[in-house]
Homo-oligomer: A and B are copies of this chain.
Amino acid sequence: MKRADHITLAHGGGGQASGELMKNVFLPAFKNPLLETLSDGALIDPPKRGKLAFSTDTFVIDPIFFPGGDIGSLSVHGTVNDLAVSGAIPKYLSAGFVIEEGFSIAELKKIVASMAEAAKNCGVSIVTGDTKVVPKGHADKLFINTTGIGFVPEGIDISAKNIIDGDIVILSGTIGDHGTAVLTRRKGLEFDTEIVSDSTPLNSLVEAMLKAEPNIRMMRDPTRGGLSASLCEIASISGKGIVIEEALIPVSVAVRSVCEILGLDPIHVANEGKLVAFVPSDSAENVLKAMKKVACGKEASIIGRVGGCPAGRVEMKTSFIGNRIIEPVIGDQLPRIC
């Protein structure tokens, strides 16, 4: 191993090596006028109307390359999606890297290129960043924090508090793909499947949905903790009961098989390119139609409705055993899934 091909502590020291990493790796990939000022903070023109959305996420996924993506694209999609489900048009990202000494610079370049491509596809700019290097064994390969700013157009108000009885619950596609795709690549758990992560940006989908119905009550992307965690949190914040129907939830045959073998329930498994939306009942069909026109919404389905069970509770109608109360998973089925 040549020293120059790997990250050293000096790359995080703020001196000459840090400057070279910036010049050779980050600037060429992320190039934009704001980042190129090399100042301590990026200066941004605020929107004339509406609100700012502000969201953060750190990505610690293992392995860093997985079927359907890598930690770079995931770190862009994850924060873009958090902004999108807040009703915002994602605009600017920061990127904070923690790199383990000895990490390959070629792999770092691959990941940074993947971030840059993802950012371009989402229409966002990576305008400010930070890199820390820690000694070997003090971190596992690479962690990436992305924090984003989006602009929420005037009149858009996405909040669980808006939900009323009778609202329709729509899921944008199959669940469990990301979690099972990553799991089947974990050391010691390798599985021969064709499952691919659903990691993808949702901002175009959200835009189409809000065009069809500006009064969408609430949206969330069910990542860690899966669909169950998102629905339970929404039920708790809104103080409403939510009833969903198991038969209506899209799960691919491959994901279902892997989950059965490993004793997982797909509703607890992480997704990285799905959203669940609560929409007024009289516009549900319109929203669904708009979603199906966007690639990542083709398999969108109505999966349930608000009301019909006690306040704050999520119930699932099953094919065999009647209604089952859904609770967020207690432990952590899959550490380092995102």
- Say whether, besides A15-B330, A145-B56, A229-B14, A41 and B83 are in contact (CB < 8 Å): yes
Structural contact, B128 and A56, CB atoms closer than 8 A: yes
Nearest CB on B from A337, distance (A): 9
A224 within 8 A of B: yes
When distances are taken between beta carbons in the complex, the residues of chain B under 8 Å from A58 are: 96-98, 130, 132, 145
When distances are taken between beta carbons in the complex, the residues of chain B under 8 Å from A137 are: 137, 140
Structural contact, A54 and B83, CB atoms closer than 8 A: no
Structural contact, B56 and A96, CB atoms closer than 8 A: yes
Structural contact, A51 and B44, CB atoms closer than 8 A: yes
When distances are taken between beta carbons in the complex, the residues of chain B under 8 Å from A268 are: 15
Which of A8, A14, A59 is most buried by chain B, counting CB atoms within 10 A of its CB?
A14
A2 within 8 A of B: no
A17 within 8 A of B: yes
How many copies altogether? 2
Nearest CB on B from A179, distance (A): 11
When distances are taken between beta carbons in the complex, the residues of chain B under 8 Å from A56 are: 94-96, 128-130, 145, 147
> Which candidate, A32-40, A187-195, A295-303, A304-312, is the interface stretch facing chain B?
A32-40
Residue ID in chain B nearest A228 by CB atoms: B15
Chain A, residues 318-335, CB within 8 Å of chain B (1/0): the string is 000000000111111111
Structural contact, A15 and B329, CB atoms closer than 8 A: yes
Structural contact, A225 and B82, CB atoms closer than 8 A: no
> Which candidate, A65-73, A84-92, A112-120, A244-252, is the interface stretch facing chain B?
A84-92
When distances are taken between beta carbons in the complex, the residues of chain B under 8 Å from A152 are: 43
Nearest CB on B from A277, distance (A): 13
Structural contact, A128 and B96, CB atoms closer than 8 A: no
22 A-B residue pairs with CB within 8 Å: A13-B225, A13-B331, A13-B334, A13-B335, A15-B229, A15-B329, A15-B331, A15-B332, A17-B330, A17-B332, A43-B54, A46-B52, A56-B96, A56-B129, A58-B97, A60-B139, A130-B145, A134-B140, A135-B336, A139-B139, A145-B145, A149-B149
